[in-house]
Amino acid sequence: MQKAAIDRVKLIFTLLDADGTGSLEAEDFDLMAARVVAASPGSDEAAKAAMLAAFRRYWTTLAAELDANRDGRVTFEEYTACVLSPERFDAALTDFAESLAALGDPNGDGLIERDLFVALMTAIGFERANIDALFDAFQPSDDDQIEVAVWAAGIRDYYGPEKTGIPGDHLVAVRG
């Protein structure tokens, strides 16, 4: 696994541990889903329900595949298996990426405005400067919007062990 992928995985593990216990549990994913939904007041109930369901499904899949000792929590050592063999998580990762991306597009026009993108990513825990750098890397249009499909693909790439020099690396980069 490339260093870039390891750095991305370390960062996302730290953010996914929303309650700071040092490992991932079901509570982390409910907490994160609640934060993201609270940051998206423009989304309708169906979109919010889909987001909650996507976070829970993500946790269920992670736990089923990665909680090797079945103690109800996934440690960092257990978590790294998902980037070592991403093919095992293909369906769950696609669902998660598409649900998160869709939440940024409450009016369903296939585009995401920067303000909402920042709100969502801030809720997950990323830093503002890194969020803006990521948004810019997705090549926003003249009216400062990115395509939902581009973001969904970017989320998937983030977990790709062989990926380097991708937009998602901006989330890891030191600010300055």
List of residues contacting Ca ion (CB under 5 A): 17, 19, 21, 25, 28, 67, 69, 71
Q: Which is nearer to Ca ion, 25 or 113 (CB)?
A: 25
Cβ closest to Ca ion, residue 71 vs residue 115: 71
Residue nearest to Ca ion (CB): 21
Contact in structure between 84 and 1 (CB atoms under 8 Å)? yes
Report in angstroms how near the CB of residue 80 gets to Ca ion at its nearest: 13
CB of residue 20 vs Ca ion: minimum separation in angstroms? Answer: 6
**Of the two residues 25 and 169, which places its CB atom closer to Ca ion in the complex?**
25
Tokens of 172: 């890891």
**How far apart are the C-alpha atoms of 155 and 4, rounded to whole Å?**
15
DSSP 157-175: HHT-TT--S-GGGGGTSPP
Distance CA 9, CA 124 (A): 15
Closest approach, Cβ 72 to Ca ion, in A, equals: 7
Distance in Å, CB of 89 to Ca ion, minimum? 16
Q: How far is the CB of 82 from Ca ion (least distance, A)?
A: 13
Of 62 and 119, nearer to Ca ion (C-beta) is 62
Under 8 Å between Cβ of 36 and 120: yes
DSSP β-ladder status, 111-113 and 145-147? antiparallel
CB nearer to Ca ion: give 27 or 127: 27
Question: How far apart, in whole angstroms, are the C-alpha atoms of residue 129 and residue 127?
Answer: 6
